[in-house]
Amino acid sequence: MYEQSLESLFQKYIDKSISPSEKQEFFRLLNQPGSMKLLRDYGEKYNIPDRLFTELPDDKAKEILKAILQGSDENATIDNHTRHVSWVRLAAAAVFVLAFISGFYYLSSRKVNPDAEKTVSNVRPKTKIQPGHQGLVLTLNDGKKIILDTVKDGIVATQNHVKIIKKNGIISYVGAGMQTAYNTASTDKGRRYRVLLPDGTQVWLDAASSIRYPLAFNEKQRVVNITGQAYFEVAKNPEQPFIVKINDGATQVEVLGTHFNINAYPDEDQITTTLLEGKVKISNQSGSKLLQPGQQAQLVNKGQIKIVENVNLNEVTAWKDNQFYFVSTDIKTIMRQASRWYDADVEYRANINDRFNAEIPASINISDFLKTLELTGKVKFTIENKKIIVTQ
């Protein structure tokens, strides 16, 4: 019965269909005697490389397990039962499971370049680079700016008979306003925030992003302007289409009620719109295209719209859930995301052509983030003040 339960939960864990209660039970079973042998058996059954099973020193096991679990549901469960846990066994099992899912192989110390870990670890106490957090600058119609990081929950402003309310990391609007009055919500590097627009649409803003919107949607269309990256869950209103204008407005996305992500950072190679639910139309001077769920529109060749099928939606929207998710991703794309979230500059002193797969909590220290990449043996980093230097 124990073996059947462990294998069943193992399968659910790797295909990400496991529930929070099942996840708790799974990590409890991993601490049972014989669990590592069973995982080795599953490795053979599912053709998983044997090198993923690694015996770790106790201190290293604690460090890696903490990095794996930080920011996840199982974190509290493990911490509350630490005195009952065999750290080495549980860490080795957890390392295996994470490695299988993410594609990162946590190897024994003899297989990891010792200088790689030392490089990043030694700068941790002195580094000025910290992970980002919830934060937003709200610019009112009269130009007044409110830094929401610094104000308490409650009514933060009233304009045109509309109350702006902050609660649990979200701002929302209550009251009837005027179409001609606008607000702009913007995030700096190292900040993310969620905004509830006057029509009930939810918008998640990634770091270094903004959205401009009216205090009331009284026209035939609901029109907003964005820069950077934003995830939308649009309130349905078939009689009043929702329009997102991107950057200078040359490209726009029209929806009736849907979930989608727009990445329009100026330092990315292209603007992308990815649809999760519903239907959207992408339009610019080159024409228009309809998107179906799971598709992504990419602006290429000076505005031509290219449709990509079967996009990895986890990779696209992981930032909204405070995660990094990389699938065969090049180092410069990874470091652009890290630069925005950790508010750091990046300098390249080597040409890294490898691609990386990983799922990493965005809550971890920059040193742990970089160390995770270094353990692949493909790249090295050093930190100088607020600059990350990439070497090989």
Q: Are 24 and 77 in contact (CB under 8 A)?
A: yes
Residue 9 pLDDT more than 90?
A: no
Residue 315 pLDDT more than 80?
A: yes
Instruction: Report the C-alpha gap between 312 and 307 in whole angstroms.
Output: 14
- Residues 198-211: tens digit of each pLDDT: 999 999 999 999 99
User: By C-alpha distance, which of 250, 227, 232, 251 is closest to 242?
Assistant: 232
User: By C-alpha distance, which of 32, 43, 25 is closest to 89?
Assistant: 32
Which tops the pLDDT comparison, 30 or 191? 191
Q: To which H or E segment does residue 100 belong?
A: helix 87-102
Ranking 124-128, 267-271, 311-315, 352-356 by mean pLDDT, the lowest is 124-128
Instruction: Report the C-alpha gap between 32 and 369 in whole angstroms.
Output: 30
User: By C-alpha distance, which of 13, 16, 89, 98 is closest to 55?
Assistant: 89
Q: Are 271 and 262 in contact (CB under 8 A)?
A: yes
The two structure tokens encoding residue 306 = 């290219």
Sequence-distant (6+) residues with CB within 8 A of 47 are none
Q: To which H or E segment does residue 158 belong?
A: strand 154-159
| Per-residue model confidence (pLDDT) at position 62 | 52
- Residues 113-127: tens digit of each pLDDT: 444 444 454 444 456
| Per-residue model confidence (pLDDT) at position 389 | 96
Residue 278 pLDDT more than 70?
A: yes
Helices (H), 230-355: 313-317, 331-342
How sure is the predictor about 96, in pLDDT bands with cuts at 50, 70 and 90? low
- Residues 19-73: tens digit of each pLDDT: 767 776 776 776 666 666 676 676 666 555 444 444 445 455 455 555 544 434 4
Phi-psi region of 200 (alpha: psi -120 to 50; beta: other; left: phi over 0): left
Instruction: Report the C-alpha gap between 152 and 166 in whole angstroms.
Output: 8
